Amino acid sequence: MKQILQDKFELKYDGLYSKKTGLRAGCQRKDGYRNIYVNGKTYLEHRLVWCYVHGYMPTELDHIDRNKSNNSLTNLREATRSQNNTNKEYGVEYYKQTNRYRLTFKKKHIGYFKNKEDALAKRKQLELLDWTSDEIDQVMQAEEQKTAPGIGPDGKPIETPTPDMNQFNNQQVLQQATA
């Protein structure tokens, strides 16, 4: 396979290029990976890049920078399944119905976000805080009270004092970072 790849393609800084056309080989998929068609079969470009240099297809490959379309050899490493899974964006899913990204953390629904980056940033923040499931419940209840206060007997919203979660989160992160 290595010889076939070297006959058809040229390896450049970001992936494989056709020797015939000089253009980047294959096409980008919706999920960010690149596919290349070789001898009647479709392959993921990063696996072909590895094979082009090392002569074999590894069981697992990891994109070090988590960018699925960055198939530079310096961005690829052989990995175990668990090492590769640490790069997955667990807990963040896109929901077409709401046009938002849903974040779950420690089996708790955290919320919906307009973009993936915000959801991932919130997950990273929660990971740094290392909260228990009960602590997450308390914070979520406080947030619900803050955004949807109860109605009193006079028909007016009941004001319940809740902590400013952003301030609390920032203090917690700073304490963790300086510890």
Q: How many domains does the chain have?
A: 2
Task: Based on the fold, state whether residues 6 and 77 are members of the same structural domain.
Answer: yes
Same domain, 136 and 73: no
Claim to verify: residue 101 and residue 172 sit in the same structural domain: yes
Global pTM? 0.52
Residues of the domain holding 163: 92-178
Sign of CA dihedral 56, 60, 65, 66: positive
pLDDT tens for residues 99-156?
888 887 777 778 888 888 888 888 777 777 766 667 767 766 666 555 444 445 555 5
- Distance CA(176)–CA(164), nearest Å, equals 18
Residues 115 and 77 placed together within one structural domain of the fold: no
What pLDDT was estimated at residue 162? 46
**pLDDT per residue as tens digits for the range 29-62:** 888 889 999 999 999 999 999 999 999 998 888 8
What whole-number distance in Å separates Cα of residue 9 and Cα of residue 95?
38
Asked whether residue 112 falls in the same domain as residue 173, the answer is: yes
Cβ atoms 79, 61 nearer than 8 A: yes
Answer for the pair 94, 116: CB distance below 8 angstroms, yes or no: yes
Q: Which residues contact 178 (CB under 8 A, 6 or more apart)?
A: none
**Same-domain status, 109 and 156:** yes
CATH of the domain at 37: 3.90.75.20
DSSP, collapsed to helix, strand or coil, labels residue 83 as: helix
Do residues 76 and 62 lie in contact, with contact meaning Cβ atoms separated by under 8 Å?
yes
Answer yes or no: do 81 and 98 share one domain.
no
Is there a single domain that holds both residue 77 and residue 120?
no
Total residues found in the chain within this entry: 179
Contact (Cβ atoms closer than 8 angstroms) between residue 18 and residue 34: no
Q: Quick one: 87 exposed, middle or buried, by C-beta within 10 A (0-12, 13-18, 19+)?
A: middle
Cβ-Cβ contacts under 8 Å for 131 (sequence gap 6 or more)? 106, 139
Residues 76 and 136 both lie in one domain: no
- pLDDT, tens only, 61-97: 888 777 788 899 988 888 887 666 665 556 777 777 7
Residues 96 and 166 in one domain: yes
Give pLDDT tens digits for 153-177: 555 555 544 444 455 454 554 555 5
